[in-house]
Amino acid sequence: MAMYVPEHFDEQNVEAVHTLMTDHPFATLIANGSSGLLANHLPFVFDAENGSSGILRAHVARANDVWRLVPDGAEVLVVFQGSQHYVSPSWYPSKHESHRQVPTWNYQVVQARGTIAWRHDEPFLRGIVAQLTKIHEAGEPVPWRMSDAQPDYLAEMLRNIVGLEIAVTSLRGKSKLSQNKEDRDRRGAAETLRERGAADLADAMLP
């Protein structure tokens, strides 16, 4: 079933969709396995340059039965969630005049659909760990490198994971950012969100 996306919340900017996926890489992998629905929460690497709509790569623990329960070629869904926050009707100037506003939630999400392939080969496993490490260690004063680990220990750790690659077939973005509100109400909500520490969401609301 497709995500419900009213026209004014439909994110048509492909670059914005890709940016959300790379800025918020910890996503939920949802699949229909032989035992029913499965959900796993994983950090992904998104490669927008390959495949028709890009490729997602990650890994799971070998002890996680998901790779046994979901066959190669199965359709899966990956949900990326960006900035989100509750929005009070009191933040809208018009509420204080007409009292015709209700609470809501503003957020940005991307749903990626595709087909999954499980990877057990050591070069792929070493490569995805290296990619994730390079991305997420970049902000450290002294970034950890795979070469910091003892070779035998690293080899053991790699044997304990299974890689996955998802050939993305469709991407759907939803940006619910008060686009259906008056400009003054949208600005009122954004300014309050900024005051409360949700600057990323406020910035998205006021392009």
pLDDT tens profile 135-177:
999 999 999 999 999 999 999 999 999 999 999 999 999 999 9
User: Measured between alpha carbons, how far is 107 from 151 in angstroms, rounded to an integer?
Assistant: 43
Q: Note the pLDDT of residue 70.
A: 97
- Listed by start position, the domains of the chain span 7-193
Mean pLDDT of 198-205: 96
Please say if the pLDDT value at position 1 is more than 70: no
Q: Note the pLDDT of residue 26.
A: 98
Mean pLDDT of 92-112: 92
Per-residue pLDDT of 182-200, as tens digits, reads 999 999 999 999 999 999 9
Q: Note the pLDDT of residue 133.
A: 97
Per-residue pLDDT of 16-70, as tens digits, reads 999 999 999 999 999 999 889 999 999 999 999 998 899 999 999 999 999 999 9
Please say if the pLDDT value at position 81 is more than 70: yes
Three-class DSSP labels, the chain: CCCCCCHHHEECCHHHHHHHHHHCCEEEEEEEECCEEEEEEEECEEECCCCCCCEEEEEEECCCCHHHHCCCCCEEEEEEEEEEEEECHHHCCCHHHHCCCCCEEEEEEEEEEEEEEEECCHHHHHHHHHHHHHHHCCCCCCCCCHHHCCHHHHHHHHHCEEEEEEEEEEEEEEEECCCCCCHHHHHHHHHHHHHCCCHHHHHHHCC
Average pLDDT over all residues of the chain = 96
From the list 82, 72, 81, 27, the residue with the least C-alpha distance to 167 is 72
Mean pLDDT of 95-106: 90
Q: Note the pLDDT of residue 51.
A: 86
Tell me the CATH number for domain 7-193: 2.30.110.10
Single pTM value for the model? 0.94
Mean pLDDT of 9-19: 97
Strand partners, 115: 75, 167
